[in-house]
Structure 1
């Protein structure tokens, strides 16, 4: 493209750009709102039934007779309302059966945060209704950047589980939710990874004092591998076995698709805005 357009070309491009700000931007904003309303609706439908009653979804963990960890999880919106788990751990030479205490639910902060970010993105879009007149491309770009930031944070909360140290897992309030309590040498943790609800169970063994010279405490991680070491209450432990089971939550997959579509719409609008600047040797916006 020429750095400096002719006067006639400039006049045509200015009219096209005004039309873009006046008409096409609002058309894209409507598309974005519709997509994000669908994403928001997935979070809402996961929590309430057709008559506003509390809705619960059951998901099965484990798929074969050889699974060391099996069970059923009951998801209610952004919380695990119940967990019914069987642990087949060779060290204990029995199947351990545990459930959540009836007075407890486990909040899945990742889902709650993702829902809040979607709500914030919708708030930003709703602040510019159909009657609002954008005055510059920079104003549109700024709005798209703000919306994309919220959508990226929402997506990241579902795709990037929090890393934790093993002492943090041990001291988590999740460990106090099971009845009967988990054995002292068994830790558990739940998290969301993409559209999957995951359960990690760690089996531990106590390190003897004569092994202290080889002790190397593990740092933060989503999943700690066998051989990971840590210290708690002046005792040193090593992870001997790790068992991971997971189940797909279909509506979480839907929300991730909506995030991708919305981010693409934002980027396409930003690209259209930026194209006009290449027609001039100065930015017309």
Structure 2
């Protein structure tokens, strides 16, 4: 029986591999569809979806964001200024859209995973376990990168936010003491608004510029345009995007299926490497 084990295991690999890779491919394809990004003109434009911004325990920031695939095509925001309760309204200019690079990158990575799975002919049979492991590692790398793009927003310095093209998206223009940043965090589209005050020369002796961060806290200092600022207030609001949640679930399921196939190969390899004497 031991002499038959390698042949049995190779047959097991050949039978398990098409089923598992097909399942992974189907799940990856479902994840790709959730991004609603047209691959070509034949599919037409992605539909627009509007989401209401909210945060627990405060109504200082209210607004509606409109998402079309990987583009934020409209943002209509009201900010109630602390202390004065003055209402500040700002919205995207009609000729502007803001690309959300995280969404675009995530779909590119999952599409690369699909390509790796589907580039071989359907009748192709893997000859060794290491060949399957190499494929699964490559697919899992792309799926992990796709998931990480949604779960790990970029860390930015305040000068980077201040110099971003996002500051020129609004009509009327943002006041010089307001910074905004949009990003994806898991299944949420987030808006952060920073209110600033200018640091006078007499108060800059303890000036310590803040480094990169996803979210800067009040008291963070930075220099921009030969002027030094300090963050006085931070407002963070967000909205849940259901299809981002679906995509994250599909990424997790795909990674689990890949790992299951790798585990099967490891079991088979123990038979191949077994030496009875």
TM-score (norm 1): 0.91
- Give the SS at the match of 1:278: helix
Q: CA RMSD in A?
A: 2.0
CA distance in 2, matches of 1:243, 1:95: 14
Q: Distance in 1 between matches of 2:184 and 2:39?
A: 17
| SS across alignment from 1:253 | helix
Question: Which of 78, 82, 89 matches 1:86?
Answer: 78
Closer/same/farther in 2, CA of residues 59 and 107 from structure 1, 3 Å limit: same
Equivalent pairs, count: 273
Write out aligned runs for 1:1-285 (5 A). 8-11=1-4, 13-44=5-36, 52=44, 54-62=46-54, 66-90=58-82, 93-281=85-273
Q: For 1:237, what is the secondary structure of its paired residue?
A: strand
C-alpha displacement at 1:209, in angstroms?
Answer: 1.1
SS in 2 for 1:86: strand
- Higher mean Cα deviation, 185-194 or 273-282? 273-282
Contact 1:58–1:74 at 8 Å: present in 2 too?
yes
Where does structure 1 lack aligned partners over 5 or more consecutive residues?
1-7
Runs of 4+ deviating beyond 3 Å: 45-48, 51-54, 63-66, 279-283
Is the Cα contact below 8 Å between 1:21 and 1:133 reproduced in 2?
no
Distance 2:70 2:253 in 1: 23
> What does residue 5 of structure 1 align with?
none
Deviation readout 1:40-63 (Å, 9 max, x if unpaired): 111127999xx8454100000126
Q: Structure 2 stretches of 5 or more lacking a match?
A: none
Q: Deviation at 1:65?
A: 9.0
In 2, Cα distance between equivalents of 1:150 and 1:10:
38
CA distance in 1, matches of 2:210, 2:246: 35
Change (3 A) 1:77 1:53: closer
CA deviation vs aligned residue, 1:140-199 (integer Å, no higher than 9, x gap) = 000000000000000000000000000000000000001001110010000000000000
Q: Which moved more, 1:129-138 or 1:159-168?
A: 129-138
Matches of 1:82 and 1:146, distance apart in 2: 37
Mapped to 2, the partners of 1:110 and 1:142 lie a distance apart of 27
Distance of aligned partners of 1:155 and 1:54 in 2 relative to their CA distance in 1, 3 Å threshold: closer
CA distance in 2, matches of 1:154, 1:139: 23
Deviations 1:101-138 (A, max 9, x none): 01100000000000000110000000123211111100
**Normalised TM-score (structure 2):** 0.93
